[in-house]
Structure 1
């Protein structure tokens, strides 16, 4: 995790310098070792880059990419409040998106299997769907 700490410091310094802060991420990524140092770290068989990549894997699709998407789409979250999140319209849209996705994916998979267009994966049952 020293690379993550170094990355945050580097990002802040590059941002304050006026240069686009994305370059800090590129520069940092080029400095993280791809190969493990056999004499230094006996506690793991993976390289620092591999550990960092897998450590950030769950954070990126659920936090980083949505923030990136909202920021680049120009979505303003200034007037957002908890009261707005629990209104019936908001809850209805969220439920429709979640339940619609579940019904759509499961339903289309079930129909494809039923009509012989697809098979369940090996060692998978309907509960896995």
Structure 2
């Protein structure tokens, strides 16, 4: 009996059959894509512990697809951009050149990056 229950539970885990047509997703199951937030809206979405604050120093189009960043001793912001990473579920174009490490600089001392 246990073997039968296990077999029935694991059978759906075989995945799709190659070339099998899947029925379209029911409309009530579709989740609309989220609206991108402006930099200011994104700042408001953070929940911070008391005593901490977040400041915006760079946003698109100055920096695109950032994955990590660090400040150097001169106040420049070094950013790793992964522009070609996972554009879609098939990873189309992922091997294309386009990723970069860029240096952003605050020229006027206002705390926001002005040039790359």
TM (norm. structure 1) is: 0.19
**By percentage of residues, which structure has more strand?**
2
Higher relative contact order (CA 8 A, sep 6+): 2
**By percentage of residues, which structure has more helix?**
1
